[in-house]
Amino acid sequence: MATALRQNANRVVQFGKHPASPEDRTDDNPWPEFPMTFKLDYGYKEGLEALGEDPRKYEILTQKFEQNDDGQVTALHTLNVEKVYEDGKLVTKEIPGTEQVWEADLVLIAIGFLGPEQEVLEHFGLKTDERGRIWTVDGMNDYRTSEEGIYAAGDARRGQSLVVWAIREGREVAEQVDQFLSKKESKQVV
């Protein structure tokens, strides 16, 4: 957000299909859980100061992109949505008549990370930490999980983070897997 503005973007808008977080904790988010409340970090604060409004737009779903003859994006088509309960499940429901077209020169897609799929973790019997991430033997320096031969790296064990960490961890875990497989092969040869 702030970087785009510093690079002289005329306008920056961030869409999210979720509603804005509440100012205060809700009854289903008590301490000591991580507070799921509205935050205005430095990037959004800088956007607010530069644009005169919060650059985040909530409960909006992108429907399609428009492009010119050269394949360059020219616009996004959006629709407002709301979270409602249907048959006991929270679902995202489109609101008819709220279609909007947003001119655009560049679109970046950033999809949030809520954690690894719990069903997969349960299937393999993997231990998790207090935040639902895959537990590894030595925190940040060892990629072995609670099950022999299964390794974890990147967001699945670190949590939502920078892509450079995922790249580094991908390389490091590859070395550990190679060492594991080399030892396993040498035992089978004997």
Q: Could you tell me the pLDDT band of residue 187, with boundaries at 50, 70 and 90?
A: low
- Tell me the average pLDDT across 57-84: 95
Q: pLDDT grade, residue 173 (50/70/90)? A: very high
Quick one: pLDDT at residue 188? 62
pLDDT for residue 109: 82
- Residue among 3, 5, 7, 12 nearest 107 (CA): 12
CA distance 181 to 143: 14
Task: Quote the pTM value.
Answer: 0.58
Ordered structural domains, the chain, with CATH: 2-103 (no CATH), 118-189 (3.50.50.60)
Residue type, 66: E
- Which own/partner pairs from 28-37 qualify as long-range (CB within 8 Å, at least 24 positions apart)? 34/131
- C-alpha distances (whole Å) from 64 to each of 73, 82, 101, 186 are 11, 19, 10, 54
Please give the average per-residue pLDDT across 17-29, as a whole number.
Answer: 92
Q: Which of 127, 75, 139, 84 is nearest to 102 (CA)?
A: 75
Asked if 48 contacts 12 with a C-beta cutoff of 8 angstroms, the reply is: no
DSSP one-letter string for 13-52: -EEESSPPPPSS--TTS-TTSPP------HHHHHHHHHHS
Q: What is the mean pLDDT of residues 86-93?
A: 90
**In the beta sheet, which residues pair with residue 85?**
90
Tens digits of residue pLDDT in 109-158: 877 677 788 888 999 999 998 888 899 997 668 999 999 999 999 889 88
Q: How far apart are CA 151 and CA 137, in angstroms?
A: 10
What is the predicted pLDDT for the residue at 161?
A: 81
Q: How do residues 90-121 score in pLDDT, each as one tens digit?
A: 899 999 999 999 999 999 887 767 778 888 89
Q: Are the C-beta atoms of residues 64 and 77 closer than 8 Å to each other?
A: yes
Per-residue pLDDT, averaged over 40-60, amounts to: 89
**Residue 3: burial class (beta carbons within 10 Å; 0-12, 13-18, 19+):** exposed
Ranking 23-32, 65-74, 111-120, 142-151 by mean pLDDT, the lowest is 111-120
